[in-house]
Amino acid sequence: MDVTIIFNQMIVLFLIMLLGYYCFRKDIITEDSSKKLSGLVVNITNPALILSGVLGDSKIGTPSDLVFVAIVSTIMHFGLIVIAVVIPKILRTPKSEDGIYKAMTVFSNMGFMGFPIISAIFGREVLLYGAIFLLPYNILAYTYGVYMLTKDNKDGKEKPKFNIKNLLNPGVIGSIVAIGIFIFNIKLPIFLVSSINMVSNVTTPLSMMVIGVSIVHISIGKLFTNGRLYIFSLIKLIIIPSIAFFILKPIIKDEVIFGTTVIMLCMPVGSMTAMLAKEHGGNDKLASQGILLTTIISVITIPLVVLILF
- Identify which of 216, 207, 195, 179 has the alpha carbon closest to the alpha carbon of residue 272: 207
Strand partners, 269: 108
- Adjacent-strand bridge partners of 108: 269
With beta carbons less than 8 A apart as the criterion, state whether 271 and 291 touch: yes
For 39, the 3-state DSSP assignment is helix
Give pLDDT, residue 101: 94
Q: What is the pLDDT of residues 201-233, one digit of tens each?
A: 998 898 888 878 877 877 777 777 788 999 999
What percent of the chain is predicted at pLDDT more than 90? 40
Closest CA to 134 of 111, 118, 106: 111
HSE (side-chain half, CA atoms, 13 Å) at 160:
24
Residues of the chain with pLDDT under 50: 156
Q: CA angle at residue 180 from 52 to 47, to 5 degrees?
A: 35
Q: Go through the domains of the chain in sequence order and give each one's CATH number.
A: 3-309 (1.20.1530.20)
Dist CA 201 CA 5 (whole Å): 18
| pLDDT at residue number 230 | 94
- Alpha carbons 124 and 34: distance in angstroms, whole number: 27
pLDDT at site 310: 77
Say how far apart CA 92 and CA 96 lie, in whole Å.
Answer: 11
pLDDT at 119: 85
Q: Tens of pLDDT along 276-292?
A: 777 667 787 888 889 88
